[in-house]
Structures are given as C-alpha cells and as structure tokens.
C-alpha cells in the first residue's frame, strides 16, 4: 500500500519492542464481540490509475458550469479564479499544516489570517473580522447567537428576503439555543429584540439602503445583522458598515473558491471593535516575539471552546483555513482597482442580460435595482422551464420554488445570476432558449 | 581551496551565527511585510476587460471612497505568499505528532480528483438531472461510512467535527422531543473530553455535567451510572478517548445509557485508530461524527476546511437534517425541504447549512478510501496503533506515561510532566525545544486529566526510521531536562522564524487588523 511506510520486517521489530505478538494483541481492550476478525465487505485497495478511472466516471455524469451557458447564483457564484490562487494554496506548507497553535513555526498561516481579517474589515466597512467561519449561512447563525449574547435578549427578527436556506439554518441553530425567531419587517422590532437580520443585495437580487433599518433597530436597543451572499457586490455598492450594521456576515466563496457543489466555502464575520470579546471563531492578532520582532498569534482564545468549554462563545474549532487563504490571495491579486473593476464588470454584464431578457415575451424583470443577480417572472412555472432548458444544454438559473416550495407566489420566479464569466453568446443563448420555451 | 578562477571551493568555519544582516533576512528565511505595506495604487495582478456600463442600477448606493485594498502585480503576490509559506511547518516537511489532530500524509491524488470540473465546477442548485454523478459520489461515500461503522444512516452536511457534534445532539434532541421527553436537559461529558463537546452541548441548550476519569484513564463507570437519570438526554464520549485509550467498558456504558432512556453520542475524532477493525455500531453507539480531515486524510489546510458527517442509529435516523439523498425512479433525488422529507417518512430536525455539505472534502475522502480499500483501512488503523505503542514503549521509562501500566495505547501516546518535577523545565519548554530540533511539538496541556500533558500521535504514515529519530531526540531532551545544562530549553525556540511570542500582550490590547499609519497615529 503506497501510503504506508512500515514493512513486514519493521512491524515485527517494532512489535518486539512493544512486547506484543501481533497488532491484534494491541486491541485487547476492545470487547471481543466487537472486534472484527474479517475485513469489512468493501473493495480491496486500488492503484492511482484505477481510482482516477472510478472518480472520473462519476465526475463525467455531471454537467459542469463551464461547459454550458450558466446562470445559477442564490448564494454561490461562478467567478474566474486566477491560476496563481490554486497553485499557491497547494503549497505543502499551507495545504498540510494544522491550525497555528505553535506560532513560532506558523507565521505563514498567521500572517495571511491577519491580512484576511484586514481585507474583510475593509470590504464590509467594519472595524474587525475573524479568521473565518464554515460558510455564509453558519456565519449568519453565529451572528444571531452573538447578538443574543450582546443584548441579553432572545427574540430574533429575520427579513422575509433573507436566503431561505440561511433562514432555515438560523432557525435550526437559534431555536435549539432557546431563541425565538420571527419573520417580519422593521415594525416587528420591539424592546425585547436582539437583532434584525437583513440581506443586501437581498435574496431576489434587489439592493436596499439599510440605514433606516439600522436606525430602527438601534432605537429599540437591537443590533442590525447584515448578510451578504455575493461578496463581489461590495466592490460596487455601499458596504453595510457604512449603513449602520453592527455585525456583517458574508459568503466569501466568490473570491478564490470554486463552486464545489456547495462546499467548502468561507464564511466572513465582521463587527465593531466594542463587540470583539463576544465574537465567535478564531482571531489572529499582532504581537512581538522575545526579540521585539513583529509576529502574529491566535488571540482572545479565552472566548473559545478549548479554553472555556461550555462557556465558549461558539463550539467552532476547524474553520475554513485554506478557503480563506484562497480568498486572501485572489483579493491581493485584484487589489483596489481589480476588485472594483470586477464588480463593475459583473454589474455591466447583468444589466445587459436583464435588459435583453426583459424583452422576451412572457418575461418580466421584477427587480429594478440589482448587482449581478435579478429575479424574472415567467409566464409559466419556472422549475419545468429550467428543466426543459437543461435538456437543451442551458442552465438558466435557480427557480425560486426550489428554495420556497410552499410559496405559491414564487412558482413563476426565476433567479438569474450573471458574472464576468458569462459571455454575450451565453446571454443570447438564454434569450433564445427562454423565447422558445415560453412561446 | 581555490579553483583556477580564484573562486573558493571549500567553506570556512568563521563565526557569523549572531551577525545581524543588513536586510533583516537570514538566508532563506525572509522577513515579509504585510501586503498593505508593499502595495500601492495603480498596480494590479489581474487583467479584466473594461466595463461598458453607462448607467448603473444600483439604486443610488454606488460605493464611494476607497476600500483601501493594496495594489500588487502577480509576481509580487506570488513571492509574498511563497515567502510566507516558508515560515510554516507542514506534514509534507516532517513528523507532526499533534495528538488528537491526526496529521497524516495527504495524498495528492485526492487533490487532483477534487479538482475535476465535474466535481469542482458544479453548482449546488443546478437541476438535479445535471448532477447525478455528484449525488452518486455522496451516496457512495455514505455507503462506505455506514459499512465501516455498522450504522444504518448518515447525515452528510455538517462542515467539521464540532458542526457534526451539533448535528448529532440536535438529532438526539429531536428524538427526545418526538417521544415527549423534552425534560431531558442534561448531557454528560467526561472530563477528558475535547472542548468542543461541552461547548456543543451548551450550544444546543443542554446543561453539562462532568464525569470523572478513573486511575486507568477511562471513564469511571460507577460515577457515570450514578449520574444517569430521567433528566439525562445523552452522554458524549470519545472513543478511543483523548488519553489514547480504548474505553473497554463501552458496551456496559451503552447498555446503562439506553436503559436510562438516554442516547449515546460518540466523538469520532479518533476513529482512525479503529477503522476497519471495530465498528461503532457494534458498541451500542447512537450517533458519531467522523472527521473526514482526520481519519480519511483530507488536508487540514492550516485550520480547515474539514467535514463532519454523522452516522446515526435506527432510532435517530428519521430525525437527520435536510438535505437527504434518495434513490428514485429517475436516479438520485435530492430532498431539500421538511415537507418533502415527511412524504418519505423522515422527520428532519432542520438544516445545518445552506447547501449539501463539503463536496470538496467528500471527493478527497472517497479517493482516499478507494485507494486503501477494506484491507488498507484496517492496516491504517493497525499501523497507527503500532507506531504509537512503539513511541510509548520507547519513551515511557525516560519520560512519564501515567496510563502505560494499564496496557497498550491506541493511536496516541500520552505523557505527563511528572518526569520534569523539580527540573524547572516545563511541557512548554520541551515543546519549544522540539521546534529547534526540526519537529512540530506534540499536543501540549491536553487532555486536562493529567498534569502538563504531552499527547503524541505519530499516525500510520511515519516510517520506523522517522520514529527512531524522533524518539532519540525527545528521549535526549527528556534526559537533558533532568540534567544540569538546561540552555537548550531557556528561551527556545532559537532557530525558528520567530522566538517565543508574547500572547499576553496580544490579548491585552488586541490588534486584529492593519491600519494605515496616519489613522493609526490619529487613534493613539
């Protein structure tokens, strides 16, 4: 077996040092009735070539986004990732290291985490950010729990235009933690409310000035949690931090990370300086070493599970290290100019697509404002239309009914995302496809 | 010696070790500024077409003012991160004996498989007819996990170990609620548990009660039984436990837990010690998360991403969260909402995350499992246990191993600091001295049940030669700690990119981001 260095002779020599006759003897604490004497009924080991063949067969049964005109978004976006990113994250020293518990030999990881935290704080317009969560949806759940800790209140209000799967994730986590969740607008705020959760651009793609919401929340002593599922949007629109948000959570997948069928992604979490000690997750901080040289360490770990156990601010341990490295590298390549241009390009293509699609008979554009994703109302239910177009080699977008199956008003709605990877020919193909299916 | 051109061809042993360099760099180890300190406006590492847009649809919310991101060209970005990478220890570089963390070789084949466009470039919400291969892969991985654990069901979506614990306890909570037993509010956790266990129990709304360990490093079964009552929802037990020992009373514990109407959650962080040899389902376990990034070698990536699928017993299976993957008439179906799940007799407690879990980790784990097969996986566990016992046997006399008297260990060897008594040398000093010797230290000060713990997990991917070298170094350090010359330990590490870092100062006045110099000054 190519990954196992011990030879039969090694094992024999080592067993004699240990004082055992066989490896089986080392398992003597296992109750005999539970110790297997035969192998589990699975195939035997296989060489690289054989594994590649088996995996390749499964991969070939999927339609990859890059092979067709492709318009899915709803919390996961297809962007171009520079070759440099994937090369650098595969360097052994990044790929095969652990959480930086020994800072003297983990400055590489720690410094990029510090750079990542700075980038996230800048993008969101907040003071500080943590070293990542699992993804945008779990980061939103953590933000809700944090707002309950900060305010010592238990009532959570979710905007109706929060991504339905985010809302379900929050509901699942928060209800177990003893919080009550309601859906509503700012009129639902009261002086028992811990936070109002609003997505911007919202689930339909529409952009809002959330400043009045922040003011309304603050007037009741509640926090405003802003959710961003498309981080590229912050290259074009006012960040939540400039509109009064107290916590900003986001899905960072768009920068540096492929679609990966939904994971692994990278959750971004930013807040105000005054709430730092209530934050979940790892934090990297600057310090000096014994010779006075600048260095970085994991800090404020008294918030964390390995120190505080049941009193920790979160149970998170492993987070999204390598995905946030990909984010950091891609963002470093983009820089101010590149990131703004990328955002403008996305918006540009989306506007072109929306205008062309709105002219198709049986299609109505429902979102007058948007960044790179908008909602169309079709003359027919959207799900079968999407299935029909998929058969013709066009992945037209996400039918809203897939995420809101019980909402009759959503049946004919289609979410369409357009990024810099979408070509004019892709847009024309969607226009032609929709025209045909809707006629 | 000189060659004909006057170039010296032999080295001279002049002293220069303490010499400060002009640049601050020391040979291959370079000081690296932050990207914010080297970037400047106008530089960019990507080429994008010019947007044509004349009128935006941003509703008057166009971003104004600079974000503050630095500009860098591609070669500068490459150098920055390559230089940073050289400051990291890695399993590809050497033995990484972090107990409980399972730093084993990460095969590159798995990376290649995860990057196939058919896996990496598919969207979680594209039509189900276009992702049948992906669902098949997840189903295939689930099948392997179920067979290896002898459990009937598995929830695939949790994103890491702690997320899997959350999922497991929420499943248990849902099962109790369904039986009308919401009054069960206590979760029992041994004092040797990972910190995530009590943190998870608290997150899910439970009160945590600790169960002590006995003198053999196992759960005190009598104390456990005394705590089992009508208010107990579950016990969370790690097996093999964090002392690196198999809980030999597992079946008795499971019986007692079930008799009391509670469920048995197992922290599967150490499944790598028993995979292919012991199936948790045969021990009476109701739920267990499997860290794919430990047992099945998806890379740790400097702190993630991981994946934490949870295997479930028949009693808990109906309560697993959405999404569910089912075999339908037209291939695989993806059940994403509660109502649809109910029509399939499922009663999901909710949803753990927006999408379907860590596909990128599933593909890597699957490639790892196919490579090893049933025979290889049993050998993985056996060799991991043999390597740990070899370390325990080789070092127990020169160090102190509190539970060595109770028999063989599993995949990790636990030492305490009693051999350092009155030496002035601490577990931390030993760890930092190991850094100078070219090793990543072991897990230190965990588990909490022994004083000054040193938990060593070599894994199965170390050769005997590598272990012999490590044993020689650690054994010699232990002897020197007890001797008169302690210079090696004072202020170690000496040869790392940084000396010991001031963690107290970092926590007292946290600096968590770079701030432009002008702003930083104004803030003071």
Model confidence band, residue B13 (pLDDT cutoffs 50, 70, 90):
low
Q: Are B370 and A55 inside 8 Å of each other by CB?
A: yes
Q: Are B144 and A42 inside 8 Å of each other by CB?
A: yes
Rounded CA separation B49/B72 (Å) = 18
**ipTM over the 0.90 cut-off:** yes
Residues 6+ apart with CB under 8 A from B470: B95, B97, B391, B439, B458, B462
Q: Distance from A287 to chain B by nearest Cα, in Å?
A: 5
Residues 6+ apart with CB under 8 A from A346: A232, A236, A371, A372, A418, A419, A420
Q: Are B83 and B32 in contact (CB under 8 A)?
A: yes
Rounded CA separation A77/A71 (Å) = 9
Q: Over the Cα atoms of chain A, what is R_g? A: 25
CA atoms within 13 A on the CB side of B42: 1
Pick the closest to residue A371 from A351, A357, A353, A341 (CA basis). Answer: A351
Rounded CA separation B64/B22 (Å) = 42
Rounded CA separation B265/B188 (Å) = 10
The size of the A-B interface in CB pairs under 8 A is: 718
Residue among A28, A98, A314 whose CB faces B96 most closely: A98
Residues 6+ apart with CB under 8 A from A59: B116, B117, B118, B119, B133
**What does the pLDDT average to over A269-288?**
97
Q: Which chain B residue is nearest to residue A350, measuring alpha carbons? A: B57
Distances (CA, A) of A108 to A176, A283, A295, B366, B497: 38, 15, 10, 30, 10
Phi, psi of A128 (to 5 degrees): -140, 155
Look at residue A307 in the predicted model and tell me its pLDDT: 84
List, for residues B405-446, the tens digit of each pLDDT value: 999 999 999 999 999 999 999 999 999 999 999 999 999 999
Residue among A18, A45, A264 whose CB faces B375 most closely: A45
Name residue B267's beta-bridge partners: B238, B289
Residue among B248, B274, B352 whose CB faces A169 most closely: B352
Q: Are A251 and A233 in contact (CB under 8 A)?
A: no
Residues 77 to 106 of A: which have CB under 8 A from any B CB?
78, 82, 84, 86, 88-106
Residue B194 with chain A: CB contacts under 8 Å: 305-306, 317
Phi, psi of A289 (to 5 degrees): -95, -175
**What does the pLDDT average to over A18-22?**
98
Do you know the residue count of chain B? Answer: 524
Look at residue A318 in the predicted model and tell me its pLDDT: 87
Instruction: List the strands of the sheet with B153-155, edge to edge.
Output: B153-155, B310-312, B287-289, B263-267, B232-238, B186-190, B207-211
Rounded CA separation B450/B443 (Å) = 13
List, for residues A177-200, the tens digit of each pLDDT value: 999 999 999 999 999 999 999 999
Same CATH topology for B110-366 and B376-498: the answer is no
Residues 6+ apart with CB under 8 A from B190: B210, B211, B212, B213, B219, B237, B238, B241
Phi, psi of A143 (to 5 degrees): -65, -40
Largest CA distance in chain A: 81
Is A358 in CB contact (< 8 Å) with chain B? no
Q: Which chain B residue is nearest to residue A369, measuring alpha carbons? A: B57
Q: Are B72 and B38 in contact (CB under 8 A)?
A: yes
User: A128-129 and A267-271: which strand pairing?
Assistant: antiparallel
Give me the torsion for CA of A173, A176, A181, A183, rounded to 10°: 50
Q: Are A289 and A295 in contact (CB under 8 A)?
A: yes
Residue among A17, A123, A315 whose CB faces B162 most closely: A315
Rounded CA separation B492/B431 (Å) = 9
Peptide bond between residue B200 and the one before it cis (omega within 30 degrees of 0): no
Phi, psi of B420 (to 5 degrees): -100, 0
Residue among B70, B88, B120 whose CB faces A109 most closely: B88
Is A287 in CB contact (< 8 Å) with chain B? yes
Task: Give me the CATH topology for the region B110-366.
Answer: 3.40.640
Instruction: Give the three-class secondary structure for B405.
Output: helix
CATH class of the region B376-498? alpha beta
Report DSSP letters for A400-435, one per residue.
Answer: HHHH-TT-GGGTTEEEEE--TT--HHHHHHHHHHHH
Domains and CATH numbers, chain A: 66-80+336-438 (3.90.1150.10), 84-329 (3.40.640.10)
Rounded CA separation B186/B184 (Å) = 6
Q: Are A287 and B503 inside 8 Å of each other by CB?
A: yes
Domain boundaries of chain B, sorted by first residue: 110-366, 376-498
**What does the pLDDT average to over B191-201?**
93
Q: Which chain A residue is nearest to residue B335, measuring alpha carbons? A: A402
Indicate if the pLDDT at residue A24 is higher than 60. Answer: yes
Q: Distance from A191 to chain B by nearest Cα, in Å?
A: 24
Q: Are B513 and A314 inside 8 Å of each other by CB?
A: no
Residue among A115, A288, A405 whose CB faces B340 most closely: A405
- Name the H helices within B358-449: 359-395, 427-436
- Name the H helices within B6-86: 35-38, 74-85
Residue among B36, B68, B373 whose CB faces A45 most closely: B373
Model confidence band, residue B471 (pLDDT cutoffs 50, 70, 90):
very high
Model confidence band, residue B12 (pLDDT cutoffs 50, 70, 90):
low
- Mutation pick from B266, B302, B496 vs chain A, by most beta carbons of A within 10 Å, is B302
Rounded CA separation A276/A128 (Å) = 8
Q: Which chain B residue is nearest to residue A139, measuring alpha carbons? A: B353
Beta strands per DSSP E along A281-436? 284-288, 294-298, 363-365, 373-378, 398-399, 413-417
- Mutation pick from A39, A105, A202 vs chain B, by most beta carbons of B within 10 Å, is A105
List, for residues B352-398, the tens digit of each pLDDT value: 999 999 999 999 999 999 999 999 999 999 999 999 999 999 999 99
Look at residue B524 in the predicted model and tell me its pLDDT: 52
Rounded CA separation A104/B501 (Å) = 7
Q: Distance from A326 to chain B by nearest Cα, in Å?
A: 11
């Amino acid at each position: 077996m190519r990954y196992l260095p011990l030879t039969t002779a090694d094992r024999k020599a080592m067993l004699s040092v240990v004082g055992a006759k066989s490896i089986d003897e080392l398992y003597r604490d296992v109750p005999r009735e539970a110790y297997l004497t035969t192998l589990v009924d699975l195939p035997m080991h296989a060489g690289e070539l054989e594994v590649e063949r088996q995996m390749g067969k499964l991969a070939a049964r999927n339609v990859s986004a890059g092979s067709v005109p492709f318009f899915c978004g709803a919390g996961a976006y297809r962007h171009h990732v520079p070759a440099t990113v994937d090369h650098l994250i595969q360097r052994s020293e990044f790929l095969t290291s652990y959480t930086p518990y020994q800072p003297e030999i983990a400055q590489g990881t720690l410094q990029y985490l510090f750079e990542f935290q700075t980038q996230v704080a800048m993008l969101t317009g907040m003071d500080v950010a943590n070293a990542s969560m699992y993804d945008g949806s779990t980061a939103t759940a953590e933000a809700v729990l944090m707002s309950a800790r900060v305010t010592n209140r238990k009532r959570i209000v979710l905007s109706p235009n929060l991504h339905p799967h985010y809302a379900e994730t929050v509901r699942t986590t928060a209800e177990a933690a003893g919080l009550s969740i309601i859906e509503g607008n700012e009129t639902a705020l009261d002086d028992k409310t811990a936070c109002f959760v609003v997505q911007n651009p919202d689930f339909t793609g529409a952009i809002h000035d959330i400043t009045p919401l922040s003011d309304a929340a603050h007037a009741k002593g509640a926090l405003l949690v802003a959710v961003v599922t498309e981080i590229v949007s912050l290259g074009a629109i006012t960040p939540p931090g400039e509109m009064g948000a107290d916590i900003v959570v986001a899905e960072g997948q768009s920068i540096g990370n492929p679609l990966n069928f939904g994971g692994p992604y990278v959750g971004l979490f930013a807040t105000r300086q005054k709430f730092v000690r209530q934050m979940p997750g790892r934090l990297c901080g600057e310090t000096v070493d014994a010779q006075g040289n600048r260095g970085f360490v994991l800090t404020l770990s008294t918030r964390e599970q390995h120190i505080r156990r049941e009193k920790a601010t979160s149970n998170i341990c492993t987070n999204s290290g390598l995905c946030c490295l990909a984010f950091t590298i891609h963002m470093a390549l983009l820089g101010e100019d590149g990131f703004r241009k990328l955002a403008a390009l996305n918006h540009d293509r989306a506007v072109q697509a929306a205008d062309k699609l709105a002219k198709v008979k049986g299609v109505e554009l429902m979102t007058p404002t948007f960044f790179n994703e908008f909602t169309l109302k079709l003359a027919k239910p959207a799900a079968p239309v999407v299935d029909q177009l998929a058969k013709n080699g066009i992945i037209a977008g996400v039918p809203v009914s897939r995420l809101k199956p019980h909402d009759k008003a959503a049946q004919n709605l289609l979410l369409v995302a357009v990024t810099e990877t979408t070509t004019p020919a892709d847009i024309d193909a969607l226009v032609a496809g929709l025209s045909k299916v809707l006629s | 010696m000189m060659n004909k051109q006057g170039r010296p061809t032999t080295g001279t042993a002049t002293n220069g070790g303490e010499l400060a360099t002009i640049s601050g760099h020391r040979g291959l180890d370079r000081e690296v500024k932050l990207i914010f300190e080297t970037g400047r406006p106008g530089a960019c590492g990507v080429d994008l077409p010019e947007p044509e847009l004349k009128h935006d649809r941003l509703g008057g919310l166009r971003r104004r003012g600079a974000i503050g991101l630095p500009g860098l060209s591609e070669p500068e970005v490459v150098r920055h991160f390559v230089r940073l990478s050289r400051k990291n220890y890695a399993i590809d570089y050497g033995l990484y004996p972090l107990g409980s963390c399972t730093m084993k070789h990460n095969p590159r084949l798995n990376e290649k498989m995860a990057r196939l466009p058919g896996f990496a470039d598919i969207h979680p919400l594209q039509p189900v007819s276009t992702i049948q291969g992906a669902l098949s892969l997840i189903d295939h991985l689930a099948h392997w996990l179920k067979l290896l654990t002898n459990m009937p069901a598995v929830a695939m979506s949790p994103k890491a170990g702690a997320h899997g614990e959350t999922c497991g306890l929420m499943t248990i909570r849902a099962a109790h609620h369904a039986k009308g037993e919401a009054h069960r509010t206590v979760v029992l956790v041994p004092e040797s548990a990972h910190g995530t266990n009590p943190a998870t129990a608290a997150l899910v709304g439970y009160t945590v009660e600790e169960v002590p360990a006995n003198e053999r490093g196992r759960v005190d079964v009598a104390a456990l039984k005394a705590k089992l009552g009508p208010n107990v929802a579950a016990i969370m037990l790690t097996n093999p436990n964090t002392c690196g020992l198999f809980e030999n009373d597992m079946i008795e514990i499971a019986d007692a837990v079930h008799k009391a109407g509670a469920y048995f959650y197992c922290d599967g962080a150490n499944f790598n010690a028993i995979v292919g040899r012991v199936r948790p389902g045969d021990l009476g376990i109701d739920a267990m998360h499997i860290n794919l990034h430990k047992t099945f070698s998806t890379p740790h990536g400097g702190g993630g991403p991981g994946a934490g699928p949870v295997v479930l017993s028949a009693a808990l299976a109906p309560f697993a969260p959405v999404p569910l993957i089912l075999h339908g008439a037209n291939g695989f179906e993806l059940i994403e909402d509660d109502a649809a799940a109910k029509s399939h007799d499922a009663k999901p407690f909710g949803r753990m995350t927006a999408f379907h879990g860590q596909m990128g980790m599933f593909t890597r784990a699957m490639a790892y499992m196919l490579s090893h097969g049933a025979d290889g996986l049993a050998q993985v566990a056996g060799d991991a246990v043999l390597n740990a016992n070899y370390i325990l046997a080789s070092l127990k006399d020169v160090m102190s191993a509190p539970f060595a008297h109770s028999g063989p260990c599993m995949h990790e060897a636990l030492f305490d600091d009693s051999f350092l008594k009155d030496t002035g040398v601490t577990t931390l000093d030993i760890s930092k001295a190991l850094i100078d010797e070219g090793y990543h230290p072991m897990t230190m000060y965990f588990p909490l049940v022994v004083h000054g713990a040193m938990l060593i997990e070599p894994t199965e991917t170390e050769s005997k030669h590598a272990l012999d070298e490590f044993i020689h170094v650690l054994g010699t350090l232990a002897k020197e700690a007890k001797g008169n010359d302690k210079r090696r330990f004072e202020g170690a590490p000496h040869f790392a990119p940084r000396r010991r870092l001031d963690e107290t100062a970092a926590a007292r006045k946290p600096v968590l981001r770079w701030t432009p110099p002008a702003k930083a000054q104004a803030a003071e």
